[in-house]
Amino acid sequence: MHLSELTHPNQLHGLSISQLEQIGREIREKHLQTVAASGGHLGPGLGVVELTLGLYQTLDLDRDKVIWDVGHQAYPHKLLTGRYDDFHTLRQKQGVAGYLKRSESRFDHFGAGHASTSISAALGMALARDARGEDFKAVAVIGDGALTGGMALEAINHAGHLPNTNLMVVLNDNEMSISPNVGAIPRYLNKLRLSPPMQFLSDNLEGQIKQLPFGESFSPELSRVKEGMKRLAVSKVGAVFEELGFTYVGPVDGHNLEELITTFKEAHKITGPVLVHVSTTKGKGYAIAEKDQVGYHAQSPFDLASGKSKPSSKPKPPSYSKVFANTLTTLAEDNPKIIGITAAMATGTGLTELQKRCPKQYIDVGIAEQHAITLAAGLACEGMRPVATIYSTFLQRAFDQIIHDVCIQKLPVVFAIDRAGLVGADGPTHQGAYDIAYLRHIPNLTVMAPKDEAELQRMVVTSINHTSGPIALRYPRGNGYGVPLMEEGWEPLEIGKGEILRQGDDVLLVAYGSMVNPALQTAEILSEHGLEATVINARFVKPLDTALILPLAKQIGKVVTMEEGCLMGGFGSAIAEAMVDNDLQVPMLRLGIPDLLVDHATPEESMIDLGLTPAQMAERVLKKFKLQAIAVGV
């Protein structure tokens, strides 16, 4: 049987080890060809091929449920569950999603793009199973990096208190999340990985004891002897998990199918929560990815033979992440109080530059955003200048800490919010659509966004200089506009002050952050049709520059707001509230992301779908205010 013939994972049942190994080779080949052609996550899926095959041969996937933590490790799962023919559309608009998606397949039992959720979800399903008197297996597959997230530990703590609830946790241990793992838990797992595997106690132990002269009379004590021997064996291996209430099994070679299948079969027989520790290699089967596990976690389109990315047609300006990181690092070299904090995303946020040049001013807390924010609060209490650099979608996980630990105490923490706005192929779990709305209503917090990479430099300086309370700056994924950058000597901005970029008497365009340049382009299109727009770069959503915006709104009489974020509670809402509070009744159009989830596609495709290209926005402005109609070519 070949991979292309598989339409149901249960077809793996009964296949020989050699047949499974052949399917494994085909999974890796398909995986590599797909990601090389269109880009995507590479290393995580390559590392779990045998784990997936071995686990699925021991389950009935018509009944049993497997919950994958952070679905980018589940590409082999997708290929085994009927998506082979469509796999070439991975992460493309209307194609196969890059993460698990309940609406995509009945085998995707729980969707996830953020880490550390699988054990909680699997335990919930197991408890529902028991409450209904049903009988199916619930299995959570979680990477070792995700164990640094408090939510996973909370779930382990709960599950370990339920000795009669059958739950299997498969720990995919490859010493990596995206970058190498940090902290005590990964260090402990490494000790386990280097220890001799713990085997199940064989039945012949009992037989050997019974051969002793006192063997029969010794039988009542046998369970205590076995338990004592087990404790002795576990003391070097899985003592922590055992003490938390799990039966620990492993470490097992994650690329040995025979060993995996035997281990999973035995583990399924254990009553209560069990943790199977599987040691894998990220990027397995592609030597280039095995050698550079950080660089090949995810890749843009690349050449399979050389592993090198395919060159773009023209040079690109530096990314916002790089501009931010270089600016912060330059400031940190002269200011030892600056501390950059990342939650296992050093590469993505660019903080590897800070780690390289100022290692004592760099902290990676692992996948623990809540801890990152309260850690920053503690640093701020002692006079440091902590800069928590976290993607917009991941900062959501620390919402209470932002309020409770930082803003209420008015601590000077900097929130550097990367990937704010549309992010593309990662889909709804990663869209940075909500940070404007979830931050601007919090007291004591200043919130700003730059129009380009040069203004980002100034905002980094502004944030470090702002010591009267917390401050947040959001910036988008991708490259800047190529505006000239300064190496140093940046001037801070005046808090709460916007700027006029263009004058016009017919309509007022008030834009925030990444939408400022599209607003200027929209104004040029309107000008071609005889309408002149004033364009304001708001810079700050809080405090809002009402002294600049409201008089112009009253004077011009037509207001359009533009933002790359959710409309409900967002930047446009802030303008509308200010107008209402000042008894200003002016026709208004809010442009941004409506009340829907933005699916995976390129950011450009998503902007078209949302009607947020300059041409589309010009047409919407004209239609809203019943002005001259134009034909739009998108």
What is the pLDDT, as a whole number, of residue 20?
Answer: 94
Non-local (6+) Cβ contacts of 417 within 8 A are 390, 391, 392, 395, 432, 435, 472, 473, 474, 475
What is the pLDDT, as a whole number, of residue 631?
Answer: 45
Q: By CB neighbour count within 10 A (0-12 exposed, 13-18 middle, 19+ buried), where does 18 fall?
A: exposed
574, 534 Cβ separation under 8 angstroms: no
Any catalytic annotation for residue 282?
A: yes
Edge-to-edge order in the sheet of strand 362-364: 362-364, 338-342, 385-391, 414-418, 471-474, 446-448, 540-542
Query: pLDDT of 260-298, one tens digit each?
Result: 999 999 999 999 999 999 988 877 777 777 676 666 666
What is the pLDDT, as a whole number, of residue 70?
Answer: 81
Task: Of 180, 190, 176, 182, give the one whose Cα is nearest residue 143.
Answer: 176
Stretch 420-439: mean pLDDT: 92
What is the pLDDT, as a whole number, of residue 186?
Answer: 60
Same fold, 320-474 and 500-624: yes
What is the pLDDT, as a whole number, of residue 338?
Answer: 98
Domain borders along the chain are 3-198+237-299, 320-474, 500-624
Stretch 582-592: mean pLDDT: 96
State the first-to-last Cα distance of the chain, in angstroms, to the nearest integer.
47
What is the pLDDT, as a whole number, of residue 299?
Answer: 65
What is the pLDDT, as a whole number, of residue 150?
Answer: 82
pLDDT at residue 448 above 80?
Answer: yes
- Phi-psi group of 183: left, alpha or beta (phi > 0 → left; psi -120 to 50 → alpha; rest → beta): left
564, 592 Cβ separation under 8 angstroms: yes
Active-site residue among 78, 129, 397, 590?
Answer: 397
As beta bridge partners, residue 170 has 141, 276
Stretch 95-117: mean pLDDT: 87
Non-local (6+) Cβ contacts of 520 within 8 A are 501, 502, 535
Residue 201 sits at φ, ψ, to 5 deg, of: -65, 125
560, 508 Cβ separation under 8 angstroms: yes
pLDDT at residue 221 above 60?
Answer: no
pLDDT at residue 527 above 90?
Answer: yes
Edge-to-edge order in the sheet of strand 167-173: 65-68, 138-143, 167-173, 273-279, 247-253
Query: pLDDT of 334-370, one tens digit each?
Result: 999 999 999 988 999 999 999 999 999 999 998 899 9
Reported CATH class of domain 500-624: alpha beta
CATH architecture classification, 320-474:
3-Layer(aba) Sandwich (3.40)
What is the pLDDT, as a whole number, of residue 630?
Answer: 47
CA distance 326 to 330: 6
What is the pLDDT, as a whole number, of residue 232?
Answer: 46
Any catalytic annotation for residue 369?
A: yes
pLDDT at residue 375 above 70?
Answer: yes
As beta bridge partners, residue 198 has 250
Provide the pLDDT confidence category of residue 112 given band limits of 50, 70 and 90: confident
238, 275 Cβ separation under 8 angstroms: yes
Stretch 598-617: mean pLDDT: 94
pLDDT at residue 303 above 80?
Answer: no
Query: pLDDT of 29-48, one tens digit each?
Result: 888 888 888 777 777 788 88
pLDDT at residue 200 above 50?
Answer: no
What is the pLDDT, as a whole number, of residue 204?
Answer: 47
What is the pLDDT, as a whole number, of residue 198?
Answer: 43
Cβ neighbours of 265 (radius 10 Å): 12
What is the pLDDT, as a whole number, of residue 192?
Answer: 55
Non-local (6+) Cβ contacts of 626 within 8 A are none
CA distance 549 to 89: 45
Any catalytic annotation for residue 102?
A: no
Active-site residue among 369, 453, 563, 564?
Answer: 369
AA letter at 598: V
Return the higher-pLDDT residue of 237 and 568.
568
Structure tokens at 499: 């700027």
pLDDT at residue 500 above 50?
Answer: yes
Q: Mean pLDDT across the chain, nearest whole number?
A: 87
Active-site residue among 282, 419, 440, 474?
Answer: 282
CATH fold label, 3-198+237-299: Rossmann fold (3.40.50)
What is the pLDDT, as a whole number, of residue 540?
Answer: 98
Instruction: Name the CA radius of gyration of the chain, rounded.
Output: 28
Provide the pLDDT confidence category of residue 216 given band limits of 50, 70 and 90: low
Stretch 404-419: mean pLDDT: 97
Query: pLDDT of 304-315, one tens digit each?
Result: 677 777 776 678
pLDDT at residue 199 above 50?
Answer: no
Return the higher-pLDDT residue of 315 and 127.
127
Q: By CB neighbour count within 10 A (0-12 exposed, 13-18 middle, 19+ buried), where does 540 fall?
A: buried
Query: pLDDT of 226-267, one tens digit each?
Result: 555 444 444 455 677 888 889 998 889 999 999 999 999 999
What is the pLDDT, as a whole number, of residue 283?
Answer: 75
What is the pLDDT, as a whole number, of residue 219?
Answer: 55
Task: Of 371, 460, 378, 457, give the one whose Cα is nearest residue 415.
Answer: 460
Stretch 298-306: mean pLDDT: 70
- Kindly report the pTM of this predicted structure: 0.83
